[in-house]
Each structure stands twice: as structure tokens, then as C-alpha cells.
């Protein structure tokens, strides 16, 4: 199962079952690419805003709110991709 980069009714997680070659999987890949690109752009914007001594509290709060959204998306992508790595659920030798 693959965790999708969107949620269902009431914020519940959505999953797709398949080999990763279907329409929904390709759509999820495209959405993840957009989300990661937006996060990268936001990092640059936040960096520029922090360097600007004239940035207002409202501007900083706004960029932090967008960063929370982007971090939530990136975290979901990482969980989804990590869950698909073979043996990801197994503990390394010597840990137990």
C-alpha cells in the first residue's frame, strides 16, 4: 500500500494498492513533485524574508504558517516513500 499525498473525508489518510505504475500512482508522483518544488521555493522565500530587516511580524507569521504546511507535506511524502523501502520496518542487527 502507498500513502497518497492527499487526505480523504475528515482528514483520513488515503492509500492505493498496486505496482506503482497505475494512474493514481502516477498522479501521486506528480503531486509529490509539485509539493517538493513548492517547499524548495518556500525555503528560498523564507531565507530572503529573514534577511530583510524590514519584514513585519505579519509577514513572518505568514511564511511560518506556509512552512508548517510544506513541512507537513514533505513529512507525508517521506513516510510514504519510507514505507515502500524494502525492509524499512525491520530493525538493524544488534538493536532490539
pLDDT tens digits for 28-41?
999 999 999 999 99
Helix ranges (H only) for the chain are 23-51, 57-83
Contacts of residue 84, defined as CB under 8 A and 6 or more positions apart, other chains included, come to: 2, 20
Query: Is the whole model's pTM more than 0.85, yes or no?
Result: no
Summarize pLDDT for 1-35 with one digit per residue, the tens.
Answer: 999 999 999 999 999 999 999 999 999 999 999 99
Q: Do 73 and 33 meet the contact criterion of CB atoms below 8 Å apart?
A: no
CA distance 15 to 17: 7
How many beta carbons lie within 10 A of that of residue 72, not counting itself? 11
User: Residue 95 — very low, low, confident or very high, per pLDDT cuts 50/70/90?
Assistant: very low
Torsion sign across C-alpha atoms 39, 44, 49, 53? positive
Amino acid at each position: 500500500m502507498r500513502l497518497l499525498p492527499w487526505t480523504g473525508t475528515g482528514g483520513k489518510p488515503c492509500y492505493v494498492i498496486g505496482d506503482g505504475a497505475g494512474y493514481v500512482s502516477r498522479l501521486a508522483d506528480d503531486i509529490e513533485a509539485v509539493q517538493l518544488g513548492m517547499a524548495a521555493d518556500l525555503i528560498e522565500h523564507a531565507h530572503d524574508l529573514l534577511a530583510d530587516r524590514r519584514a513585519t511580524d505579519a509577514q513572518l507569521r505568514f511564511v511560518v504558517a506556509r512552512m508548517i504546511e510544506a513541512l507537513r507535506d514533505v513529512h507525508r511524502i517521506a513516510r510514504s516513500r519510507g514505507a515502500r523501502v524494502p525492509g524499512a520496518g525491520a530493525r538493524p542487527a544488534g538493536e532490539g
